[in-house]
Structure 1
Amino acid sequence: MTDIKRLTLNIAIFLPFAIIIYFAMVIIAAHFPESFMKQNLKYIPGPMGDMFYRTNEARITKDVDILFLGSSHAYRGFDTRIFKIKGYKTFNLGSSSQTPLQTNVLLNRYLEQLNPKLVIFEVSPLIMNSDGIESTLDLIKNDKNDIYTFTNLIDFSNASTFNTAIYGFYMDLFKNYKPITDSIRLSNDLYISGGFVQRDMSYYKAEIIDKQAININPIQIDMLDKIIERLKKKDIKLILLQTPITKSLYNSYTDIYKFDSIMNSKAEYYNFNKIVDLNDSIHFYDSDHMNQNGVEVFDKEIMKLLMVNGLN
């Protein structure tokens, strides 16, 4: 046997053991806060978040009229109860800081089953500039991990997300995948069956927000294009929209028109900051999230949009 063949054989024998040992070290390190590996492991202990209940429901939900996608603007902005009253079967698959990278993962897992007639995809300047790591970590903890967990990691040269994914697979063994049928209290939030999260009523206090330019991550734009093409091939109608934010935040963007122009070039797009006139101190609880007052006004405008598109 040549030296090269012997080396190849030794690597082939050793590699599986090395992988097992590394995985074991990550899992053990998670239980020791002061360990050197814990610094590169971002799995947050404690109760599951709203996304856990949302994905549990998604697994048993089929054939919806409307699927909502996007960040917290989506799951805090589209009240599935309001749409139900009007006869729409909807599901809200928004998640914290969700970027197109995570949207793609969720579509891989749930699009076929949810089988929507219409997708309403919330997009915002901050999210389109994000690297997506925060949202990836949220999915690792709160969704059931699979092959798409690791395909998503290809977009990150980040040890913490990889280690967190390893620990996430381990923690999946202890999750109770029992969907809820009503609502559940999560601190200051009420998770509503269907994916919406209602915030306890509070009001935004005005503040001065420094001017900021909008930068868009090319990786996110590329993935958005792939999602748009995917939905086209399935003949699923898509609407991109920007949900209302406070005027103090909206006016801080120096080049919002550029963002609007890019989104308009991609698909049917609506900037609801230009469509609905909300009051910062009445309709919001922080600078970029509506309280229930704002949600109800906003969703009524969405109903009008659906009627215009012949989706009533």
Structure 2
Amino acid sequence: MPNLVYKVGHNYLRLQEVRQTSNVDLLFLGSSHAYRGFDTRIFSASNYKAFNLGSSSQTPIQTLILIDRYLKKLNPKLVVFEVNPMVFASDGVESGLDLIVNDNNDLHSLKMVFNQKNIKLHNTYLYTLVNGIFNDTVYVKNKAYKKGGYVAKLKPAYFNGEEQDKTLITFNENQIKSFETILRRLNKNCINYILVQAPVTSLKYNSYSNIKAFNSLMASYGDYYNYNEVLNLNDTIDFYDSHHLNQTGVNIFNKAFINFLDNNFQDLKE
């Protein structure tokens, strides 16, 4: 049925694990660029206790719900908020569906469904409630999911170098409002945060016609680090599509980011 989307996936495993996790050094937030970009295994090897709460197409609307549910328990020393230009243009329906299906639903979920007024969200929310009453057994097998919320690319894959159409970054007012609310929540709870744009291919990055305006906006909200302008990655070797790193690229990105943390946030490991 086109107006009912019910797919249990790796986010179910992540949201089961997060309930058993507390007091982390690093909390990663954001879309697939977060959960496919920050490998918690690499951070663990460098003695950082990290949890990746990213999810598919996660927009600030869904990020706000997640921090309202889990921020207090996770109690991070530092939040790393991955900010990708396209999530600020999104209506948030895809991520909303993912959250409804894979997490416990509460008043936050109901408010999101009511405010977004999308038939897929309404149908899936109602179906999930009924399904939870009559069938609460869920089986998920996902070898790509790794402890701490990271999702690995199991087989080597490489971007084919296809040219990208020019894109004008637009801003959904509701996403900006939710984004600003998230930052206020973090400040209210005395939790430090940094904004990070994870690497995409140079072809993708250069396709954004107003990327300078986006970078300027993000910098106005706090410490902002754009790794597209820090690292010199190879489009066809370090990515598996136009905007996602493969494991080779993740290794390079994470090593550079850990060096940054070691030099600027020495107290995280204390």
Answer whether contact 1:204 1:281 (CA < 8 A) is retained.
yes
Q: Choose which of 247, 261, 264 in structure 2 pairs with 1:306.
A: 261
Q: 1:305 to 1:175 in 2, by over 3 A?
A: farther
- The answer for the alignment partner of 2:4 in structure 1 is 42
* 2:191 pairs with 1:191: no
Aligned amino acid, residue 56 of structure 1: Q
- The answer for the alignment partner of 1:92 in structure 2 is 52
Aligned amino acid, residue 185 of structure 1: N
- The answer for the alignment partner of 1:51 in structure 2 is 11
| Map 1:154-165 → 2, pairs under 5 A | 154-165=114-125
Distance 1:233 1:204 in 2: 42
1:175 CA drift (Å): 3.8
Deviation track 1:222-248 (CA, whole Å, cap 9, x = no partner) reads 111111011001110001111000111
Identity, in percent, stands at 46
* 2:192 pairs with 1:232: no
Residue aligned with 2:261, SS = helix
| Map 1:33-182 → 2, pairs under 5 A | 33=1, 39=2, 41-45=3-7, 48-173=8-133, 174-176=135-137
Distance 2:259 2:129 in 1: 43
Aligned amino acid, residue 43 of structure 1: V
1:130 CA drift (Å): 0.4
Answer whether contact 1:145 1:172 (CA < 8 A) is retained.
no
Answer whether contact 1:43 1:168 (CA < 8 A) is retained.
no
Answer whether contact 1:70 1:99 (CA < 8 A) is retained.
yes
Structure with more relative contact order (C-alpha pairs < 8 Å, separation 6 or more): 2
* 2:171 pairs with 1:216: yes
Distance 1:306 1:172 in 2: 42
Residue aligned with 2:180, SS = helix
1:154 CA drift (Å): 3.4
Distance 1:306 1:59 in 2: 26
* 2:245 pairs with 1:293: no
Distance 1:222 1:301 in 2: 31
1:177 CA drift (Å): 6.9
Distance 1:212 1:43 in 2: 28
Residue aligned with 2:149, SS = coil
Residue aligned with 1:119, SS = strand
Worse-matched range after superposition: 208-217 or 50-59:
208-217
- The answer for the alignment partner of 2:231 in structure 1 is 276
1:310 CA drift (Å): 2.2
1:61 CA drift (Å): 0.5
Q: Which runs of 5+ in 2 are unaligned?
A: none
Distance 1:145 1:91 in 2: 21
Distance 1:91 1:243 in 2: 17
Distance 1:185 1:44 in 2: 17
Distance 2:125 2:219 in 1: 35
Distance 2:149 2:136 in 1: 19
Distance 1:79 1:118 in 2: 16
1:103 CA drift (Å): 0.2
Distance 2:136 2:147 in 1: 19
Answer whether contact 2:9 2:142 (CA < 8 A) is retained.
no
Distance 1:52 1:114 in 2: 17
Distance 2:173 2:63 in 1: 16
Answer whether contact 1:67 1:93 (CA < 8 A) is retained.
yes
Residue aligned with 2:253, SS = helix
Deviation track 1:134-153 (CA, whole Å, cap 9, x = no partner) reads 10001111111122110212
- The answer for the alignment partner of 2:159 in structure 1 is 204
- The answer for the alignment partner of 1:248 in structure 2 is 203
Distance 1:172 1:240 in 2: 36
1:217 CA drift (Å): 1.1
